[in-house]
Structure 1
Amino acid sequence: MIRKADPYRDTDVIDARAPRTNQAIVGTLSLLALITGWWPILGVLAGQLAIGLVFGRRYCLPCLLYFEVIQPRVGEGRIEDSRPPRFANIVGAVFLGAATIAYLVGLNAIGLVLGLLVAGLALLAAITGLCVGCEIYRFAARLRGVRARRIDSVDLIELGASTAAGEIVVEFTHPLCTDCRSLEAELRAAGRTVVTVDVSRRPELARKYGVVLVPMAVAVTSSGAVVERLA
């Protein structure tokens, strides 16, 4: 199978199905631990999440299951930013660790609540794709100053674009973003002149123009005035 993103090298992005596989495993095992009373499973899950976060995907068992067993059979899914699911894993590890400690010191009710919270949110994400931890990360990013906002003009010279080409489309993209490539192909097929800005190489431009998610595309005149938001 040919991969667009190497799961062990291109760690700034991830196949969107991989986090959902991890969430399904964590959610199911957490629920099993609470139903059966085998609460030490929560500690094992917390440790496994922590090991994967610190040492990488090669040491994350659910990651290995997906990338080595499932993905070669079903193909590569949509590629997305790996930071939101990574943050969700951090939150999960903290809550599972806290639940384990609560059980150890006899605070079973607190351990149960924390464990149920992890199980419920993990299974919700696995089934519906709604990752609460990921959404918290995106909200926090906006609080740090990365805010989506209206763009009235862009500096074409700063972007390395010609100012004599008439109306062009400026697309903020990432080299491993599946949706970015699809949008660029659609625009070029429609006869549009497209200038791409790789946010992994020009993060200062992403912050300047308030690019929270890619792809983001605007049609601009030769003077840089924005006439239409396309994505």
Structure 2
Amino acid sequence: MIDARAPRVNQAVVGLVALAAVTVGPWWLLALLALQLALGLTLGRRWCLACVFYYEVLQQRLGEGPLEDSRPPRFANMVGLAFLTAASLAHVAGWSTAGTVLGSIVAALALLAAVTGFCAGCSAYKIGYALTGRKFVSCPLPPPVAGENA
């Protein structure tokens, strides 16, 4: 379970940096975003700069937000990593148009999620469950400890 606002902050950062990379450059900002997502996915949120900013700065001021299952946003980050890696490799190979298109897709979907809360990668994760005949059930919150206020 994670604070539902943390992925939105990450999506805003990814979306804005990807938008800057595809509109004014340099293209290697897409590679830095890919690296940042890879570090966060493999080493945890302490290595995700947007997550550190959210948890250490914003959450301290705003308080904890609603909790959500972390699996769909994690899957969305994996998809974003794949697209950003492909965009970076396309630029390295000299296929700038393909790299720009892939980077633009990331920018558009990340900004859409940050602004509206609709996460295409999260929805794809849940659709994947349905296609396999399973119903997506969010991780339940643990029961409150006796004697603590809920």
The 2-side partners of 1:35 and 1:127 are apart by 20
Q: Which residue of 2 aligns with 1:174?
A: 140
Q: Equivalents in 2 of 1:140, 1:58: separation in Å?
A: 28
> Structure 1 residue 144 and structure 2 residue 132: aligned?
yes
Amino acid at match of 2:134: V
SS in structure 2 at match of 1:84: helix
Q: Does the 8 A contact of 2:14 with 2:110 survive in 1? A: yes
Structure 1: tracts of 5 or more residues without a match:
1-12, 149-171, 178-184, 186-231
- 1:66-145 correspondence runs (5 A): 66-145=54-133
- Is the CA contact 1:51–1:59 (under 8 Å) kept in the aligned structure 2? yes
Partner-residue secondary structure (3-state), 1:130: coil
Q: 1:98 to 1:175 in 2, by over 3 A?
A: same
User: Does the 8 Å CA contact 2:3/2:65 hold for their aligned counterparts?
Assistant: yes
2: CA distance between counterparts of 1:131 and 1:103?
26
The number of aligned residues is 143
The answer (yes or no) to whether the contact 1:79–1:176 under 8 Å persists in 2 is no
Greater helix proportion: 2
Q: Deviations over 1:74-114 (max 9, x none)?
A: 11111000000000000001100100000011101100100
- TM-score (normalised: structure 2): 0.91
Deviations 1:170-223 (A, max 9, x none): xx971259xxxxxxx9xxxxxxxxxxxxxxxxxxxxxxxxxxxxxxxxxxxxxx
Structure of larger gyration radius: 1
Given that residues 99 and 115 in structure 1 are in contact (C-alpha distance below 8 angstroms), is that contact kept between their aligned partners in structure 2? Answer: yes
- Any idea what SS the aligned residue of 1:44 has? helix
Flag structure 2 segments of 5+ consecutive residues without an equivalent. 144-149
Give the letter aligned to residue 174 of structure 1: P
Cα separation, 2, equivalents of 1:113 and 1:89? 18
SS across alignment from 1:106: coil
Q: 1:176 to 1:38 in 2, by over 3 A?
A: farther
Which residue does 1:167 correspond to in 2?
none
1:65 aligns with 2:53: yes
Q: How far apart in 1 are the matches of 2:11 and 2:116?
A: 11
Structure 1 segments (4+ residues) deviating >3 Å: none
| Residue 37 of structure 1: how far off its partner (Å) | 2.4
Whether 2:18 is the aligned partner of 1:52: answer no
Instruction: Return the alpha-carbon distance in structure 2 between the equivalents of residues 110 and 88 of structure 1.
Output: 21
1:41 aligns with 2:7: no
